[in-house]
Amino acid sequence: MKITNIIFTSIFVANMSLAGPIKTQVTTNPESVSTLLQSGSYAGMLAFVRAAHAESIAENDDEITQYAYLMVLANAPAAMRIPLAVDFAMDVNDITLNAQGARAVRSSLVSDAPPTLSQAQKDVLLQKLKVKLTGLSSAGESAFDFARLAAEVLMLLNGDVGLDIYLTGTETVGNLKILDGWTPTSEASVFAQLKASYDQKANDPANENRGSDKVTVALYELCRIRRTENKEIKTLEPLANLDQLLPK
């Protein structure tokens, strides 16, 4: 990919420090990353991102190796993005990289050809997300991004715990109430109709926002279920609070 070549070359020119093996690879042969993305095995991708991450840290967050592993994480085939996020991006003590992992999972789940996850894969992913969410202790852009993306992932996986987190974002939820005309005590049928409306949008190939609409479909399905149980649409016991994590 010519764009990839230009990006790696321009970064390299700006940073002529002694290169490690991954840095040397991506600057002298940028096409190797494209080849890895197009035909590499999962084991090969995992080994690459782990090595690039370790090298980046060793070289004071070197931007070339950092760009390399983030590029693979974001552009790997949809079926590989989730395990890469679980085994790599959310397996480190770095909330910024954790958020990138959650973003990769979300993009995979809302893609036009989302992977089919086994129950075991879902359980591992859910457990990883929950552990990271309960570990959030202070406000910050990365912490907020991770919690927001994790909430959407959990909702896409039919997790009511995701709805609880999502509802703590009062500005977003308030805007949705106004836009779609619902209240915490609206009938289940209201949410069923909203779900059907967004489902139609989410399945329109011409709709550039269909990924976000898929999240809204999941949101309103969880709201519908909650109202059938005669529960109000309000947060109950959230693992994280978006309003509290939002930087002031």
If one compares 12 and 231, the residue with the highest pLDDT of the two is 231
Residue pair 17/59 in contact (Cβ under 8 Å)? The answer is yes
Contact 47, 29 (CB under 8 A): no
User: Rounded to whole angstroms, what are the CA distances from 128 to 161, 213, 215, 221?
Assistant: 14, 25, 20, 24
pTM (predicted TM-score): 0.89
Structure confidence by residue, pLDDT tens digits, 22-62: 999 888 888 899 999 999 999 999 999 999 999 999 988 88
CB 153 within 8 A of CB 109: yes
Tokens of 38: 């197009």
**Confidence check: pLDDT of 117 > 70:** yes
176-202: per-residue pLDDT in tens? 999 999 999 999 999 999 999 999 999
Spatial contact of 10 and 49, defined as CB atoms under 8 Å apart: no
